[in-house]
Structure 1
């Protein structure tokens, strides 16, 4: 019986969110991810939610990895990093452009030592150009990238952009980096050579705004159709009676109201153009009913509908649990739930790995052999 192929080895210099999200997806599909941390550890280890001193935020982003402590400010730390990378398949970093070059750990240096290396650099604005050196956190990218103003335009009651609490740019960049790395590894099978992957948060965010980028070039007379929440007795529902069949089912459920014959609602385009008026009638029906009842009745009538739920409700949903959307991980404070990768594969075990690394727990396994080989060679 022979051993299977070695897992892809990833040396991960990234911290905070975009890079760690990318490399956790790598770990989720079986890669060996070595997380390089400074002596004080990744700053995310101290970010809430915390319990018993352990960050579940950090755990979500770093489950399944191994932690190695290197002081990259020292020559010894940089040399250890190079020796680790000599045997690696992938490097991921999200420092500001130029930092890795000053450390002697840039693409040109490392690929000369390891021509098969895939080197992924994640930054706010790309590795080159006039904006490359700008600092970049996701809220800044949302602001400068047009997302916040686009969202504000869809909420005319606002007099300023909404506060930011979800970091879309980080997650998008992490996903794009993960996909680009897979492409580079596949290309390596044909060419024998690695390559540099340059992923920018701004580019990633812009790719999400498919309609907005086109409307910016070709302004439309009629504002974009917006889907709006409908108030029920104890919450909100989203109702989408776009097709003629959906609309007819809704009218039947409502008992054939007179407004159902309004010519403005006779076609899908007419319903879109007069959506606020249509939803006003739906809200009159829903306002004295629990949201869960509205959802059940509308779905039974063939009308697309979803009740607005909070995250805890979604996690507790039997359908979420049946699908295996969440996985169990553990750290020194115990077990908790984190999202699994959002895909399933027939031949690959794609799931979050359960163990969250303690700071430096992989030092002996990964660094000691390299140092022993160096001593033998002297």
Structure 2
């Protein structure tokens, strides 16, 4: 089956996570993605988990891409990049604002070469505003966006924001960039013109806080119900009886149909006001069972719930296997699994492509496509401008 983005050519100047996440999704839909790396390579190539010198972390973010390693301070390399831009549909970069301009690769310059070019810039705070030039990684954006303090307010008894290890801002920013690029490609079909996409990870995070941005403007209501993990005799389970029907199903599942006549739980408003009590009573039931048993009983009654699982359990999860949620890819150290995009398309192949490029392995081939001879490529390597 063909990919929705077959024939789309992407020049990828991104590194670390947000940009590579976006461009891997483009590759998953069939785009040809040419990753432009420094001579030292994307720093994630050196990050664990590593096997025989190859990073599975890097492979996850960069499967399906080609690689050219070069010195962007070389005028000859910049000239070649500009020739390459003329053949591309999309360019994605996540340097700090101003860096691409210093290379002579800003949108205005490249749009003059290729007016159909869609140029996506991903940065912490966006390309404009008083903090545009501030350095930022995902944990910094989590703090700046209010996300960490919101979470702290939801953790009764905690006295500082949670330690960060999952880079939500990167994944969210990359996902928004992927979507914006699709919209720009569609608009180009109607107008014939490319455009600049300015993606702010800060704004992506703020946009995720749907309830909280409204609560900040209109405070004073009672605290909304929070979803608390319930203990079992061997772990934890999440139970979310949010609708009236869910509440009835819960009362049946735990053997307490009389809860339906309890004045504390008669209406949605009553249950919301006594939410913590309802969960505490439910926990008395879950504590007498394993997480798996509680999940099975509650699910059988239609109660939304899930036991808490470790990531390694998910690798062989029957639901994910049925959906084809993982693809197997290979790098120089062998095979490993990476998540596919979370959507399926009836008319398009959507999966990670089975290729993880070595640093610079496609440089000669990419330049040959521009008519650069083998001798000229060798000379660039001799001068240290091409990896």
TM-score after normalising by structure 1: 0.95
1:147-166 aligned within 5 A = 147-166=147-166
1:194 — aligned with what?
194
Instruction: Identify if the C-alpha distance between structure 1 residues 285 and 194 changes in structure 2 by more than 3 Å, giving closer, same or farther.
Output: same
2:118 — aligned with what?
118
2:351 — aligned with what?
351
Contact 1:242/1:271 (CA < 8 Å) preserved in 2?
no
1:212 — aligned with what?
212
What is the SS of the residue equivalent to 2:36? strand
**Matches of 2:269 and 2:118, distance apart in 1:** 49
What is the SS of the residue equivalent to 1:59? helix
Cα deviation for residue 223 of structure 1 reads 1.1
The alignment's C-alpha RMSD in Å is: 1.9
What is the SS of the residue equivalent to 1:372? coil
Deviates more, 1:116-125 or 1:255-264: 255-264
Question: Unaligned regions of 5+ residues in structure 1, if any?
Answer: none
2:8 — aligned with what?
8
Give yes or no for the alignment of 1:108 onto 2:115: no
Instruction: Identify if the C-alpha distance between structure 1 residues 372 and 340 changes in structure 2 by more than 3 Å, giving closer, same or farther.
Output: same
1:1-378 aligned within 5 A = 7-256=7-256, 261-372=261-372
Question: Unaligned regions of 5+ residues in structure 2, if any?
Answer: 377-387
Cα deviation for residue 128 of structure 1 reads 1.6
**Matches of 2:68 and 2:256, distance apart in 1:** 67
Instruction: Identify if the C-alpha distance between structure 1 residues 27 and 224 changes in structure 2 by more than 3 Å, giving closer, same or farther.
Output: same
Cα deviation for residue 303 of structure 1 reads 1.8
**Matches of 1:98 and 1:21, distance apart in 2:** 22
**Matches of 1:373 and 1:46, distance apart in 2:** 32
Contact 1:13/1:92 (CA < 8 Å) preserved in 2?
yes
**Matches of 1:221 and 1:10, distance apart in 2:** 49
**Matches of 1:244 and 1:100, distance apart in 2:** 55
Deviates more, 1:326-335 or 1:302-311: 302-311
Cα deviation for residue 258 of structure 1 reads 5.5
Cα deviation for residue 130 of structure 1 reads 1.2
Q: How many residues align?
A: 373
